[in-house]
Amino acid sequence: MTTLTNANLVLPDGVHDGSLRIEDGRIAAVSPASPPPGDDIVDLGGRHVVPGFVDIHVHGGAGASYQAGRDDEVRKGVAFHRAAGTTTTMASLVTGDRRDLADAVSRLADLAADGLIAGIHLEGPYLSPARCGAHDPDLLRPPDRDEFRRLVALGRGHVRMITLAPELPGALDLVRDAVDAGVIAAVGHTEAPGETARAAFEAGARVATHLFNAMRPLHHREGGPIAAALGDPRVTVELINDGVHVEPAVARLAFAAAGTARVALITDAMAAAGMGDGDYRLGVMDVEVRAGRATLAGGGSIAGSTITMADGFRRAVTHVGLPIEKAAEAASLTPARALGIDSRTGSLEPGKDADLLVLGPDLTVERVMKNGHWL
């Protein structure tokens, strides 16, 4: 057994001095008491311990892309994000043609079955051409229920989420198909008015993809999908907290409206994360990164981010002003709850996987534990 002592444990109800006992890859106890004799003791010197981050929307990192589902690329990206504190990650795919998308889903299903990723997120291809962002508009298509069912079958239970524009013909039927298949339907890349967005949530959609970005903006006479998502207590809203996609004042509005129980920090990171400025690809689109900002080559839409979850978490404390336990909830427990895996990860509670991070005084990640093992 291993016991982490002299720690500031960031628990759902606040920060507590105490110790964390780990046995067989799980959290055995959270206690203010001294550890029993015989344990392997790790004295953390008063450092904060937070649950491992859960990223439900990420496309790659360290120069690697998840788009083709290649084993080496996915492992490289996952290893990079794990080292930065993301102990549970999805693999997100941008819009692709039918064959490429099917091949990627099939390959990623194998990696999900091995436990490398928590599942597959289809960001598209059923998106609004008016809000396509960094997706190739020539590859967008109307909702195709037969194609979706084939992708779900190829995913063998590992397609966990699909982002679609609810105003497209047949989109609400596809939302219902997703719910029936156990796939989370997310509203995003949409020009939908509020009435249509609310209809999607009534049909079972439960996530708003990167709130504020690639969707009809909030207007005082037509709230659109933003007001619909923030006003629905059933809906989790994603937030890219990099200071590029959403400024801190707007992030504070989202947290004030929905609370950390419904705002899930995400990275939307692409291959450039961890790599510095240069030229990259996102799906079939050319992307240039300058001063850490990723945009389509030649100027245009923001093309994902270059941050890690640790960056977004730290900014939530230092720039948005959240208490550390609330930032941890948004980075860990809320996305875990959205995926339906909060019974085993997302918080430092007995019985859950020992996925955790040790933070330095400046909230940078010093050590990462996954399933009870230090990385």
Question: What per-residue confidence (pLDDT) applies to 1?
Answer: 86
Quick check: is 107 in a domain? yes
Give the position of tokens 């606040």. 14
Residues 100, 237, single domain; the answer is yes
pTM above 0.85, yes or no: yes
Q: Looking at the domain assignment, is residue 344 inside a domain?
A: no
**Domain carrying residue 143:** 53-339
Residues 172 and 269: their CA atoms lie apart, in Å, by 28
Copy the structure tokens of residue 329: 């909830």
Residues 43 and 182 in one domain: no
The stretches in the chain having pLDDT less than 70 are 33-38
Spatial distance between the Cα atoms of 267 and 304, rounded to a whole number of angstroms: 8
State whether 206 and 169 are in the same domain.
Answer: yes
Asked if the peptide bond before residue 32 counts as cis, ω within 30 degrees of 0, the response is no
31 and 151 both lie in a single domain: no
345 occurs within a structural domain: no
Contacts of 340 (CB under 8 A, 6+ apart): none
Angle at 360 between CA 354 and CA 363, to 5 degrees: 90
Q: What does the alpha-carbon distance between residue 155 and residue 102 come to, in Å, rounded to a whole number?
A: 9
d(CA 49, CA 44): 9
Assess whether 335 and 360 both reside in one domain.
no
At residue 177, what are phi and psi to the nearest 5 degrees?
-60, -40
> Do 148 and 235 fall into the same domain?
yes
Rg (CA), the chain: 20
**Tokens linked to 336:** 């875990």
Same domain, 362 and 281: no
Q: What is the CATH classification number for the domain harbouring 237? A: 3.20.20.140
State how far the alpha carbon of 235 is from the alpha carbons of 75, 211, 341, 362, in Å: 31, 11, 16, 32
Q: Which of 177, 232, 242, 268 is catalytic?
A: 268
Task: Give the list of residues 6+ apart from residue 31 with CB closer than 8 angstroms, or none.
Answer: 18, 19, 21
* pLDDT number for residue 36: 67
The most distant pair of C-alpha atoms in the chain lies apart, rounded to whole Å, by 65
Q: How far is CA 189 from CA 129, 166, 308, 355, in A?
A: 8, 9, 22, 32
Burial (CB < 10 A; 0-12, 13-18, 19+), residue 91, is buried
Residue 174, in any domain of the structure:
yes
Instruction: Please tell me whether residues 188 and 174 are part of one structural domain.
Output: yes
57 shares a domain with 35: no
Instruction: Tell whether 346 is covered by a domain.
Output: no
d(CA 237, CA 214): 13
Shared domain for 15 and 125, answered yes or no, is no
Place of tokens 């629905």: 232
CATH number at residue 15: 2.30.40.10
3-state SS of the chain is CEEEEEEEEEECCEEEEEEEEEECCEEEEEECCCCCCCCEEEECCCCEEEECEEECCCCEECCEECCCCCHHHHHHHHHHHHHCCEEEECEEECCCCHHHHHHHHHHHHHHHHCCCCCCEEEECCCCCHHHCCCCCHHHCCCCCHHHHHHHHHHHCCCEEEEEECCCCCCHHHHHHHHHHCCCEEEECCECCCHHHHHHHHHHCCCEECCCCCCECCCECCECHHHHHHHCCCCCEEEEECCCCCCCHHHHHHHHHHHCCCCEEEECCECCCCCCCCEEEEECCEEEEEECCEEEECCCCCECCECCCHHHHHHHHHHCCCCCHHHHHHHHHHHHHHHHCCCCCCCCCCCCCECCEEEECCCCCEEEEEECCEEC
Q: What is the rounded distance in angstroms from the CA atom of residue 264 to the CA atom of residue 342? A: 13
Whether residue 318 is contained in a domain is answered as yes
Number of independent structural domains in the chain: 2
CB-count exposure of residue 280 (10 Å: 0-12, 13-18, 19+): buried
Task: Please indicate, yes or no, whether residues 34 and 64 belong to a single structural domain of this protein.
Answer: no
Q: Are residues 45 and 27 in the same domain?
A: yes
Is 268 among the residues known to form the active site?
Answer: yes
